[in-house]
Every structure is written in C-alpha cells, then in structure tokens.
Structure 1
Amino acid sequence: MNLLIWNCQGAASKAINRVIKDVKRRFNPRILGLIEPRVSGYQADEICKKMGFENWLRVEATGFSGGIWVFWQDDMKLEIVHTHSQFVLVRVKVGHQALWLLSIVYGSPNATLRKKLWHDLSLDNLNIEGPWCSIGDYNSVISDDEIEPQRNSAHHRSPEFADWIFNQAMIDMGFKGSKFTWTRGQSSDTHKSARLDRGLCNLEWKDMFPDSHITHLPIIQSNYAPLILNLSDKNKSESGRIFRFQAAWLTHKEFPKVIKAEWDNRQNMEDNILKMASILSNWNRTTFGNIQKIKGG
C-alpha cells in the first residue's frame, strides 16, 4: 500500500493536477496528503471532488499560507484525531491490521510558529500511544549536510526539531532517490537545496511495517519533491516469506482457474499481487505439491 505526500505549492493549477493524476496512475496511493494547496473555500471543495477519492478532510489555508488536504479511499478507515494549522493526526485501519496513527505535517516557515508545532504535536500533549508515523514538510533540517550550499544551513537547521525527534522516540525512515526534497534558484549564486521533507516513525510502527520505505520522486512543477511511502514489500507473502513464482505451476490444469477465480480487477496491482502470493503459496502446498518432491520422484 502506498501513501503520497506532497507540498504542491498550489492545487488549483492544471500543471499541478496533471502531476497528481500521473503519480496516482503510477503508484495508486490509498492516502494522499497535499500540503500548501493555496486555495480554500468553495474552490477547494470543487478541486477535492475531482481528485478521485471517496473521502477527504481539509485544514484551510490562511490566505496563501499553509493548508493541508488529506484524501483516502473507502477500503480503509481513517478517524480524525486532531487537526491543527500545522498538522493533521488521524487513526488508520486497513483490513485486519491493527490501528496506527499517522500525522501529516506542514511546518511553518516562521520559526516561532514551528516551535508551537514541536509542542503541540507531542506524546504528552496529544496522549499519543501505539504505532505512529509522521511524514511531511517540517521546514527544518537536523544537520549541515542536509542543505546545500552549507553556508545557508543556519536558516533551516533546527535544534528544536532534533530535540523533538529525540523526545518523541522517533526514528528517521530514510529514503530512496535524491537527497534533497526542496530546491530553489537556477544559477550557482542563487541555488539552494535542502531535505525539508521526511518520514519518521516510532519502533512500534516500524515493527508493524518492517519493509516500509520512502522514495523521493523528482521535483516538478513545485519546489518540493513528492514523497511516496510504501508500507509493504510486494515480493513477500502475508507470512513475510519471500514469494517466488514457480514456472512448473503453468503445467497444472487447475492453475488458470485459480488465477481467474482469485484475481480481482477492482483492486490495484500491488494488492492483487500480495493476495495472490499468499493464495498460490497455499495452493502449492495443498494442491500442486512440493516441487522438489515431484522432481525427485
């Protein structure tokens, strides 16, 4: 299952909506978080209706500043726990999974307001318990090597952010792709890049999704890169074992019937593959038999 989080810097433009549509087609996110949409009221509602999701919530932008939109599909349950000018906290349940918490964050460019974020989005203030993942644009870095050129690091480096991560017992989830998630300026004199966006989680959440990973997509139409959070390894079955397709299955007359009966065209490709990995592993044991025993016989 994929989640897409992006500081799109304006959700009303046709160019931004083309990017969203393309990323949705490629990754089929079950949850979409858009940060800094720069539109509110009736116009925002009309845009949300066209996003292709059954459900959504909005934290209104203040003029052209801030705003968080969250979309999700009907096949999952999201309970709104808390809304704030700089984050949305929801409780998520998918299928038979245990409940877990998700916060989608937009840290204000204003350092004083960001200090309020570190206080308000906290274990003590919100009585947060259980698996927790927090992802978004924090507008802060924790070390000099997360910004380029490093002469600009003092502007974004935040000891308070590092303290918040430590105090909430969160771990950085890392990433694939480009190191930086934000860039500005075209010439060598004006160019700046930084890792302002990231995913963090506690150990309970990491135990729940041990194969989760974040990918920084290319920066396009916005100064920020979209982040894809993948919660599962599509090459693994539900038991966690590596799933390998056996070519010999194709020789069994029942194999096409199993595929036809179990493949669901209403589901996305990734969910179908995960389901089929479990079904075919069981079919191999109960119907086809152990491959090695057959070869040995």
Structure 2
Amino acid sequence: MRAEAEMKSFREALKVNELYDVGCVGSVFTWSNGHFDLSFTKERLDRYVVNNEWRNMFKDFMVEGLVTRCSDHKPMLMTVLQSESLRRKRKFIFRFEASWLKEEDCGKIVEKIWSERKQTQEPLMQAQKLLKLCSGYLTRSFRDRDKV
C-alpha cells in the first residue's frame, strides 16, 4: 500500500490539473493477486483521467477493461469514436508516395513549408497544420505525374 502522504499528493495533482476518472465498461477491476483462496483480492488500480478540454475535443469515447491471461494487471483500452459530422468531413486520406522522394521538388516543398512556421503555444496543433499543408502541396504537385 502507498503511504498516505503519496496518495494525498496524487489526489492534489489530479485536483490542480482538473483531471477526473472517466470510468470503464467491462471488467472494472484492473489487478488481482491471483490467489485461489479466501485471500483473493481484486482492485481497480489503473484509470484513464482527462480534463474538460480533452473531453470537449473527444466527446465520443469508450474505455474498456480487457481480459488478460498472463499478468496480474488487466489492460485497458480507450477507443475514441468520430462523430458522424467528422466522418463526412474527412473525404481525403493522405498517403505519401515513396516515388515522390525521387522528385527534386519534394524536399523543397517540405523545407519551404516547415521553414515558414511560427512558434506557437500549441506545438502539436502547429505540427498537425504543417503536415496538412505538406500533404496538400505534395498531392497537388505530384498528382498528374502519378497518373502516368
């Protein structure tokens, strides 16, 4: 068992960061001592915690407790589902073609886009935006060449 002071610090960290447990479907117990007698114990040790900002970005999700055969800990799986409106929006899936690497323009396009980036507070969102720009430029630049 953890010392009470450590658990208090952990609970405080959850509170300060506004994180809360999103629950679980299926087997909620994630650990077992594996005993087959009266000392058998199951506990829910593992959890997914999120904040409201994350919850607003990913409204439709599910956390499942899975089955294990060779460990005292059961795995948990979070599945983020897309809403119908997001599925309809995403018509184009970018696939990088290895043959583009032979094109002189390929490296130049990528370098140009990434060199024009600006520092932001959200580096992950910035990277996503730059990748999207690259995919658009690369696809348009080489679309006709790939049809030949």
TM-score, L = length of structure 2? 0.51
Alignment of 1:247-286 (within 5 A): none
Q: Which amino acid aligns with 2:60?
A: D
Distance change >3 Å, CA 218–CA 171, structure 1 → 2: same
Structure 1 residue 175: Cα displacement: 0.8
Q: For residue 161 of structure 1, give the secondary structure of its aligned residue in structure 2.
A: helix
Structure 1 residue 177: Cα displacement: 0.8
Residue matched to 2:115: none
What is the total number of aligned residue pairs between the two structures? 92
- Give CA-to-partner distance per residue, 1:32-53, whole Å, 9 cap, x none: xxxxxxxxxxxxxxxxxxxxxx
- Give CA-to-partner distance per residue, 1:94-135, whole Å, 9 cap, x none: xxxxxxxxxxxxxxx7649x94xxxxxxxxxxxxxxxxxxxx
Q: For residue 198 of structure 1, give the secondary structure of its aligned residue in structure 2.
A: coil
Q: Which amino acid aligns with 1:164?
A: A
Whether 2:15 is the aligned partner of 1:162: answer: no
The separation in 2 between residues aligned to 1:194 and 1:187, in whole angstroms, is 15
Residue matched to 1:227: 76
Q: Is the 8 A contact 1:214 1:227 kept in 2?
A: yes
* Residue in structure 1 matching 2:84, options 237, 246, 258: 237
Structure 1 residue 168: Cα displacement: 1.3
Q: Is the 8 A contact 1:181 1:219 kept in 2?
A: no
Q: Is the 8 A contact 2:34 2:72 kept in 1?
A: no
Whether 2:52 is the aligned partner of 1:203: answer: yes
- Give CA-to-partner distance per residue, 1:134-176, whole Å, 9 cap, x none: xxxxxxxxxxxxxxxxxxxxxxxx3333222112111211111
- Give CA-to-partner distance per residue, 1:174-229, whole Å, 9 cap, x none: 11111210001323322111111010011100000011221110132100111111
Q: For residue 84 of structure 2, give the secondary structure of its aligned residue in structure 1.
A: coil
Q: Which amino acid aligns with 2:84?
A: S
Residue matched to 2:38: 189
* Residue in structure 1 matching 2:27, options 155, 178, 183: 178
Residue matched to 2:63: 214
The separation in 1 between residues aligned to 2:36 and 2:86, in whole angstroms, is 51
More strand by share: 1
More helix by share: 2
Q: Is the 8 A contact 1:184 1:193 kept in 2?
A: yes
Q: Which amino acid aligns with 1:167?
A: V
The separation in 2 between residues aligned to 1:159 and 1:170, in whole angstroms, is 15
Note the residue ranges of structure 1 that are not aligned, 5 or more in a row: 1-108, 116-157, 242-261, 267-297
Larger radius of gyration: 2
Q: For residue 230 of structure 1, give the secondary structure of its aligned residue in structure 2.
A: strand
The separation in 1 between residues aligned to 2:87 and 2:18, in whole angstroms, is 26
Distance change >3 Å, CA 180–CA 210, structure 1 → 2: same
Q: Which amino acid aligns with 1:232?
A: L
TM-score, L = length of structure 1? 0.27
